[in-house]
Structure 1
Amino acid sequence: MRQILRQFTQYVLVGGLAFAVDFVALFVLTEYGGIHYLASAAISFSMGLIISYLLCIAWVFDYRALKNRAHEFFLFFLVGMAGLVLNTLLLFVFTESFGLHYLLSKLVAAALILLFNFSLRRSLLFSVRKRPCPETP
């Protein structure tokens, strides 16, 4: 349990940095780049995803379940894309349906996605998998 708590704390710090990049890029691309906020959200989320991956493998998780780094990044990316879909959906709902400012919507969505991403990434990529017991006759 102590290891999970340490990893989660580090993941939150890494996520905070990745989120800061994501959030600032969203603002800059939307306000100064003239890009629609949903397109900006996809671009900025991808920037944060890359930062998150690099810091997760360097600092957060001690064990890597996959030896093939390309496969590992692909699964990390897939979890990120699931997070992106959820992020975009929540961003749209909170902004369009509830009338929140898109940056406030982003904050709410990020808080909800944090546990989703950590749980999936840790279980799929960064934890020792228990081998099933052989069946006994």
Structure 2
Amino acid sequence: MSETFSTPSVEVTQPLIDGLVGLGGYTHPLFNPAAGELSQGIRAPMPGQGVLLLAGGLVEQSGLLDDAIALVELREVRFLKMLRAGTTLRVDLTPGESGQTRSGKILRHYRWSAVDGHGDQILEATAVMLLRAP
């Protein structure tokens, strides 16, 4: 079994969520509560693609994959719980199988587990990364 590494955390705020919803152009009512819902304190959760965006940024910021050239593929992406404001998010990375390309670069699978500040798993995915040769 491979060792698991954790990224630093990011604080998930409502302005962050609302900003990503706006930039992404999300129109679904889940991400755009009506005035009556807002007056009742209902706020939008983070869209799944926003969770992926944050997870990718956390992985980059961590320095754990400084030898990475590119994210080649995301596989088996599962959203397990809505991410809402008022918590944090980190990514636990577990290296998996790897192989060498014809040009000598490495293709390695990493299991991503995005976890909130309560320890609840928000997302799991397999990321296939292209890495520089050692």
Fold match (TM-score > 0.5): no
Normalising by the smaller structure, the TM-score range is: 0.3 to 0.5
Give the TM-score, by structure 1 length. 0.35
Higher strand share: 2
Give the TM-score, by structure 2 length. 0.36
